[in-house]
Amino acid sequence: MGDLKLCVAGMNHKTAPVEIREKFALKDEKLEGAILELNSLPSVDECMILSTCNRVEFYFVTRNDNPFLSVKTFLSKLSGLSEDELNKYLYFKSQEEAVRHGFRVASSLDSMVIGEPQIIGQFKDAFAKAKEMGTAGVVINRFCETALKVSKRVRTETGIARNAVSISFAAVELAKKIFGYLSDKNVAIIGAGEMAELAVKHLITSGVNKVFVVNRTLEKAEKLAKEFGGKAFKLEEIESVLTMADIVISSTGAPGYVITKEMIEKVESKRHGRPLFLIDIAVPRDIDPAIDKIENVYLFDIDNLKEVVEANLEERKRAAKEAEGIIEGCVHRFLHWLKEHEVAPLIAELKQKAERIRKEELAKRLSKMNLTEEQKEQVDYLTQIIINKLLHTPITTFRQKAPDEKAYIKVFREIFGLTKE
């Protein structure tokens, strides 16, 4: 029997195309069945499956010296792909590599978009499912709890999630920079583009005051306004909306400008100097770029937002380097714990043996001695102290040395007459 190991076999968006990943799509009963089947393999002691759109990973604990042999057969059966075919897409990692990989995944360093938050919830769900199915033992529990703590440290101690990396969220971040707070701001959405809708949803989450929806077809505007709890307007009423809005997001399919410089100049006096933030996500553009020269008007088109996103991505890459340092320290601490965990049963066995001998010998001697109850208690206490002091040094030395030097385990067993492996 080999050393206790944490292993992972998996594939992700970097190693396998979607048509292969979807063969491993595991949800509900299929996921539960796969967890139980993996856990039933003779070489697997504990396991957990992480299944998302971009990755499927099978974490397991084993003492087998060829940990991936039976797991690969299991994965072949699960996917319907031959083992040779699977070899093109799967990665296999053991011990230090597996622990480091798991911590990087939970911290979103291995995600398609570095710093994205969804993976934390997905990792928690996978851990919860393993606990529910009874396949998470001491090692998987410790591994997942540590991975989630590492993830929290990475997000709080680095700037990995500080800056927006989507066009829609970048627009909201810019609005916050311009206005400081959004609770008394009105937002108008012109057209019904997907990115514009997403930006409005982010703005609503940020607590904007009112939402206006402007569309060439009033019926469509009313439908969208109902979704956002806002008010609908026809495109012909756009000047009226421009007097009330603080943030305007435009995403129509119009061939020409929907908002012109003349319109803004016309409503300027009614706005009484209030800043106006315009976001033009349409291609071709909806908003006349000449508007940007008007005082108190801030115009950003999709290229401007892409520049913000790219700059933010660079920031996240810099933060990721800091995160790798945090992860590295946690990997070594976890591996040390795993090695200590492996020798813990031997230490417990020695203590139990010493206590059994102490009690047996004490009972024999005390029965032949004419002592009071108080004197018996003192003798009992004295023998406990002697045993604890005698075992302290060998146990401390064993706990420190054995995780790194396996010879200590054999010597420890032989010296104290403990059970064989």
Positions at the binding site: 52-55, 111, 116-118, 122, 191-196
Whether 96 and 335 have beta carbons less than 8 Å apart is answered as yes
DSSP secondary structure, 61-104, as one string: EE--SSTTHHHHHHHHHHHS--HHHHHTT-EEEETHHHHHHHHH
d(Cα 242, Cα 246) in Å, to the nearest integer?
Answer: 8
Question: Would you list which residues are annotated within the binding site for NADP(+)?
Answer: 191-196
The label of the residue with tokens 């996500």 reads: 281
What are residue 62's phi and psi, to 5 degrees? -150, 160
- Of 342, 327, 319, nearest to 406 by C-alpha is 342
- Of 323, 335, 332, nearest to 108 by C-alpha is 323
User: Which pairs from 109-113 meet CB under 8 Å and 24+ separation?
Assistant: 109/154, 109/160, 109/320, 109/323, 109/324, 109/327, 110/12, 110/55, 111/54, 112/13, 112/54, 113/165
Tell me the catalytic residues. 53
Whether 178 and 275 have beta carbons less than 8 Å apart is answered as yes
Question: Helix, strand or coil for residue 56?
Answer: strand
Whole-number Cα distances in Å, 79 to 21, 37, 72, 222, 342: 9, 13, 11, 46, 34
d(Cα 130, Cα 187) in Å, to the nearest integer?
Answer: 44
d(Cα 330, Cα 150) in Å, to the nearest integer?
Answer: 7
Task: Name 151's Cβ contacts closer than 8 Å, sequence gap at least 6.
Answer: 103, 106, 107, 108, 120, 123
The label of the residue with tokens 């040395």 reads: 401
The alpha-carbon radius of gyration of the chain (Å, integer) is 32
The label of the residue with tokens 């998987």 reads: 140
- Token pair, residue 416, equals 């104290």
Going 281 to 282 to 284 to 286, the CA torsion angle's sign is negative
